[in-house]
Structure 1
Amino acid sequence: MDKYKVILVDDEAEVIDVIEQKIAWNELGFEVVGSATNGVKALELVEKTQPDVVITDIKMPYMDGLELSKRLNDDYRNIHIIIFTGFDEFEYAKEAVHLEIEEYMLKPINSDELTECLKRVKNSLDLEREEKLNVQKLENYFNDVLPILQTNLFVSLIEGRVDEEEYVKFVDSYKIDLKGPFYCCVVFHTSTHHVPENMEPLLLSMSVEREIKERIAKKFNCKEFIYLGNTVLIVELSSKEKMVEFTDICDKFCKWVNRVIGAVVTAGIGRVCDNILNINNSYEGAREAVSYRVLYGTNRAINIEEIAPNEQNMTLQSEDSKMHDLFKAIYLGDDKSIEDAVSKEIEKLHKNANTVSQYNLVIMEMVGAFYRFCANNFIDFNDFLGDINNPYERVPQMDESTLKNWLIKCSLGVSEKLKSVRNSKSRSLVNDAQNIVTDRYMEPDLSLDKVCSIMGVSNSYFSSVFKKEVGKSFVTYLTDYRMDIAAGLILDTNEKSYKIAEQVGYLDANYFSYVFKKKFGVSPSKYRNERLNK
């Protein structure tokens, strides 16, 4: 074990020499690392050598031993001090108890007394060292379990079980650095039904998690953890607009991990919130987004803000939340799921309603929930009632079979209307993009990223909608549009190819010729000659 370091301070050099020679420093567990003849020099030496013990005389020029002790107590609380004093100074020195002097010794110095004094000091130092080691062990243990403690807090946050007082108490202790001002939750779901040959599903999920840590969590201020078999990120954002960029990053990751590892991953992205205590709402939105992979496909990022803006804005009343599975099935548009959800609602109705009054009340609550669901999705529920003028009066009178058929019919009708609304929104988005191409095709920097930035949507969502509506990718559409314009200019003008290239957004004439030949099978000049000579 390292020896304790000692500095000797006395204005008489011979006194220092005698002390050094008469004490068995090494055997006592000490080593003298320096000496000084006054307090000023001693302070310089203390800063340089960082000793454990300072043995000093009181009477010295420039700075006496008591002033030195005061300075040491102010700046180096861990140093133990032993003071030598003459008989006439002893009482004076002892009165300075607030200086917390370890030992007082009368001159002339007796080697035996000093040896016993040093033994006592060493015992104190040993106890301090042991205590420090114990504290270090506790700190090491705390750091070992810190990731678990952090994960427990994050899980409590996304479950909505943490109040502001608890969060403030734990955020510093758990070394969590999430200052916002905005936050979002992302859920990465790895399919267990599409696993590469000779690989276990659990190993595949672990591999995906590792890549998420390396490629996303380390590059952004994210907190990553596993929950219910999925990898979850709590993301800090500087602005709401950053969510579009982050969605595209997650989308590229899903495609990359499928290509490289063979994992089928869907990233569900929840709504942005401005309070970490509301991250549970973002988490629920992220889970919902993952479930929409049946509509929008896997190996991609799905942002709930883009695909279901109105549904997620509605505030569910208690009876609405009870019908959440039915409304979710309606939104997803699967007929079988809708019929199953209706059957469960009817089953719960008959199981829980003990009186006719209760039964009628629940039926009316169900009707009200449908009105609210439709209103929040800009649909009029009255359009699906057929010849029923007052559903609050007529529906409670239906028998079980009639009620079930009526609910299924209404649910299917609402679901079809939602599909139509979504298609209308998709068509509007595509029209806006096509108008941008028409107006700005000649700009060299017009691209998928530029168009998405103009419209404020992620590449992932826009690309999916555009290809579904138009039958080709946006990049292909833009290229084809430019080439069609170029073909017209080639036939209607005498402009050189490089001039036409510039007019349709290509700064590199050679690349323009390459793209043109790829589409029409011939170079621009040959295209002109063949068409004009016919």
Structure 2
Amino acid sequence: MERYKVILVDDEEEVIDVMEAKIRWNELGFEVVGSATNGVKALELIEKLQPDVVLTDIKMPYMDGLELARRVRADYPNIYIMLCTGFDEFEYAKEAVHLEIKEYMLKPINAVELSECLTRLKDTLDKEREEKLNVKKLEDYFQEALPALKSNFLISLIEGRVSEEDYKRFLTAYQVDMKGPLFCCVVFHTSANHVPEGMDSLLLSMSVDREIKQRLTEKWKCQEFIYLGNTVLVLEVDTEENLVQITDECDRFCRWAYRIMGAVVTAGVGTTCESLYDISTSYEGAREAVSYRVLYGTKRAINIGEIVPKESKIQTQQEEARMQELFRAIHVGDEEEIEKAARKEIEKLHKNAKTIGQYNLATMEIVSGYFKFCSNNSLDFNEMSGNVPNLYQKVSQMDESALTSWIIGMSLKISEQLKNARNSTSRRLVTEAQNIVRERYMESEITLDDVCSALGVSNSYFSSIFKKEMGKSFISYLTDYRMDIAAEMILNTTEKSYTIAEKVGYLDANYFSYVFKKKFGMSPSKYRNEHLKK
């Protein structure tokens, strides 16, 4: 049976060693996956290892146990915190209660007492997991659904099948009270190919849907329903900028769903619209964003407005509907899928064109569809097609083999141009972030949130493209940049370490020395002595 993951945090390594040795972790249903000697390092491990339990001392350098508990409580509310300390003071206990910490132990920790605490905690964790994955309860939940009329109306709305005459009448009849001022669609896709052993994929999807209801819909003004196996949210949005916060919240949920439930969830965030009647455009954008998981990965949120260059957002045209599958494949950029979709267009063309006139009209519509698609995405169609004169006529005169080759070739060429545009946008964002670091590295308060806010993108998207472009996280890049500047100052000035620390954004000189040693393998003073000898 899978064991619960534990991280031990104490500034005394001997204490950690004793706890690891004295406690029969495996027998109690736990596994120690890492340890740290301060809260800062513990946060790094928590992000990386995603534990179920953190057992931490209170009194530690750089970041104490209570501050660590506050951070974990805010960012990872489902991780259980166990506090231990040598200080039997009322204020500590009061703060622990405020943070909803259920276990608070005094040092020296008794192995029997700690084992009893772990036994109680395992019962709690087991009940929580059983509640989420209990097949019988999920089957009962599966029988429940949103009121049928409201669900059918919302599905018709996102598919664009509600007439203007019926729209307001249905809003009132089905009690859909959404006032905006803006609206947005989010689609949550749960993979049927990655399902925990013994769990039915449909039941897992239902479980994810229930958690979305509990964790997201209660925070937002929205309507929630299931369509085509996905959970769909139609949200009221105050401003365009709110999409960044929505994307980051969805991203945190996707990572949580994988860590707790083993569900591989991808969230697609569509563009905003000013009327609920036009929500179908946002829904198409959200579905398209989900399809980009082949490029950007699963277990995360993808905002269509961020991955498609802002100057070329997609607007679905009625004339393009017949080529929608091909255009979606072009956006994703998978050559095999593009060729498959292109051949389907040829099949439909020959199946539906009964006369030469219908055939010629259909080929003209294909060329026109490419032209509009390129225009909507700020691409030069004439340049892409080689500036061929009388292109409509020449395409209509092609035989099946030549037309197939032309459609596949055009599709691949357009896809490559879109990919270049995305890469250009990614490089521009990374460059702007690097400029922010150069201008503000000396500010101790600068954070990833500050940079994303300045760039106008979500943490999820920015972190993804920054690591892809630079091979390291933004925080690692900022730290390395600060350390390189500090190293130069150490060698080229006579300033003290604490002065240099402040100039590169560290208010705590001890922590600065800790980070510096971690990068260069020696303290700042030793670094100066070693290099000045040469």
The two structures have a TM-score, normalised by structure 2, of: 0.69
Give the whole-Å Cα distance in 2 for the aligned partners of 1:314 and 1:210.
Answer: 32
| Cα pair distance change 1:512/1:411, threshold 3 Å | same
Is the CA contact 1:497–1:524 (under 8 Å) kept in the aligned structure 2?
yes
| Cα pair distance change 1:381/1:473, threshold 3 Å | same
Offset of residue 294 of structure 1: 1.0
Q: Give the secondary structure class of the aligned counterpart of 1:499.
A: helix
Q: Give the secondary structure class of the aligned counterpart of 2:273.
A: coil
| Cα pair distance change 1:387/1:287, threshold 3 Å | closer
Structure-2 residue corresponding to 1:233: 233
Q: Give the secondary structure class of the aligned counterpart of 1:178.
A: coil
Q: Give the secondary structure class of the aligned counterpart of 2:223.
A: strand
Is the CA contact 1:226–1:232 (under 8 Å) kept in the aligned structure 2?
yes
Counterpart of 1:334, as a letter, is D
Counterpart of 2:352, as a letter, is N
Offset of residue 280 of structure 1: 2.0
Give the whole-Å Cα distance in 2 for the aligned partners of 1:352 and 1:438.
Answer: 60
Structure-1 residue corresponding to 2:317: 316
Offset of residue 454 of structure 1: 0.5
Identical pairs, percent: 63
Offset of residue 248 of structure 1: 0.5
Offset of residue 276 of structure 1: 1.7
| Cα pair distance change 1:409/1:173, threshold 3 Å | closer
Give the whole-Å Cα distance in 2 for the aligned partners of 1:252 and 1:268.
Answer: 13
| Cα pair distance change 1:310/1:347, threshold 3 Å | farther
Offset of residue 149 of structure 1: 4.1
Q: Give the secondary structure class of the aligned counterpart of 1:270.
A: strand
Offset of residue 315 of structure 1: 4.6
Structure-1 residue corresponding to 2:527: 527
Is the CA contact 2:158–2:279 (under 8 Å) kept in the aligned structure 1?
yes
Counterpart of 2:364, as a letter, is M
Structure-2 residue corresponding to 1:485: 485
Counterpart of 1:302, as a letter, is I
Offset of residue 317 of structure 1: 4.1
| Cα pair distance change 1:204/1:240, threshold 3 Å | same
Is the CA contact 1:285–1:312 (under 8 Å) kept in the aligned structure 2?
no
Give the whole-Å Cα distance in 2 for the aligned partners of 1:274 and 1:344.
Answer: 35
Deviation string 1:470-500 (CA, Å, 9 cap, x unpaired) is 1111111111111111111111112222211
Deviation string 1:373-423 (CA, Å, 9 cap, x unpaired) is 222222222334348433122222221111111222222122212211211
Structure-1 residue corresponding to 2:380: 380
Deviation string 1:61-104 (CA, Å, 9 cap, x unpaired) is xxxxxxxxxxxxxxxxxxxxxxxxxxxxxxxxxxxxxxxxxxxx
Question: Which structure 2 segments of 5+ residues have no match?
Answer: 1-143
Offset of residue 195 of structure 1: 0.8
Please state if 1:362 is matched with 2:362.
yes
Structure-2 residue corresponding to 1:212: 212
Counterpart of 1:313, as a letter, is I
Structure-1 residue corresponding to 2:414: 414
Offset of residue 266 of structure 1: 0.3
Offset of residue 453 of structure 1: 0.3
Give the whole-Å Cα distance in 1 for the aligned partners of 2:296 and 2:475.
Answer: 20
| Cα pair distance change 1:156/1:417, threshold 3 Å | closer
The two structures have a TM-score, normalised by structure 1, of: 0.69
Q: Give the secondary structure class of the aligned counterpart of 2:465.
A: helix
Counterpart of 1:494, as a letter, is T
| Cα pair distance change 1:165/1:415, threshold 3 Å | closer
Offset of residue 449 of structure 1: 0.7
Deviation string 1:201-232 (CA, Å, 9 cap, x unpaired) is 12211221122122211122222222221111
Question: Which structure 1 segments of 5+ residues have no match?
Answer: 1-143
Deviation string 1:143-194 (CA, Å, 9 cap, x unpaired) is x997444333332332334456655445456554422212211111000001
Offset of residue 355 of structure 1: 1.8
Give the whole-Å Cα distance in 2 for the aligned partners of 1:174 and 1:350.
Answer: 44
Structure-1 residue corresponding to 2:10: none
Give the whole-Å Cα distance in 2 for the aligned partners of 1:372 and 1:462.
Answer: 30
Counterpart of 2:297, as a letter, is G
| Cα pair distance change 1:357/1:162, threshold 3 Å | closer
Structure-2 residue corresponding to 1:433: 433
Moved over 6 A (4+): none
Greater Rg by CA: 1
Counterpart of 1:209, as a letter, is D
Is the CA contact 2:185–2:279 (under 8 Å) kept in the aligned structure 1?
yes
Counterpart of 1:478, as a letter, is L
Give the whole-Å Cα distance in 1 for the aligned partners of 2:146 and 2:429.
Answer: 46
Is the CA contact 1:163–1:277 (under 8 Å) kept in the aligned structure 2?
no
| Cα pair distance change 1:511/1:211, threshold 3 Å | farther
| Cα pair distance change 1:368/1:166, threshold 3 Å | closer
Give the whole-Å Cα distance in 2 for the aligned partners of 1:520 and 1:145.
Answer: 59
Offset of residue 290 of structure 1: 0.8
* CA-based RMSD: 2.1
Give the whole-Å Cα distance in 1 for the aligned partners of 2:357 and 2:276.
Answer: 43
Is the CA contact 2:314–2:377 (under 8 Å) kept in the aligned structure 1?
no
The aligned length equals 390
| Cα pair distance change 1:386/1:281, threshold 3 Å | closer
Structure-2 residue corresponding to 1:267: 267
Structure-2 residue corresponding to 1:187: 187
Deviation string 1:25-79 (CA, Å, 9 cap, x unpaired) is xxxxxxxxxxxxxxxxxxxxxxxxxxxxxxxxxxxxxxxxxxxxxxxxxxxxxxx
Q: Give the secondary structure class of the aligned counterpart of 1:418.
A: helix
| Cα pair distance change 1:369/1:172, threshold 3 Å | closer
Give the whole-Å Cα distance in 2 for the aligned partners of 1:366 and 1:436.
Answer: 45
Q: Give the secondary structure class of the aligned counterpart of 2:212.
A: helix
Offset of residue 433 of structure 1: 1.0
Give the whole-Å Cα distance in 1 for the aligned partners of 2:208 and 2:151.
Answer: 18
Give the whole-Å Cα distance in 1 for the aligned partners of 2:513 and 2:393.
Answer: 72
Give the whole-Å Cα distance in 2 for the aligned partners of 1:387 and 1:433.
Answer: 39
Deviation string 1:15-34 (CA, Å, 9 cap, x unpaired) is xxxxxxxxxxxxxxxxxxxx
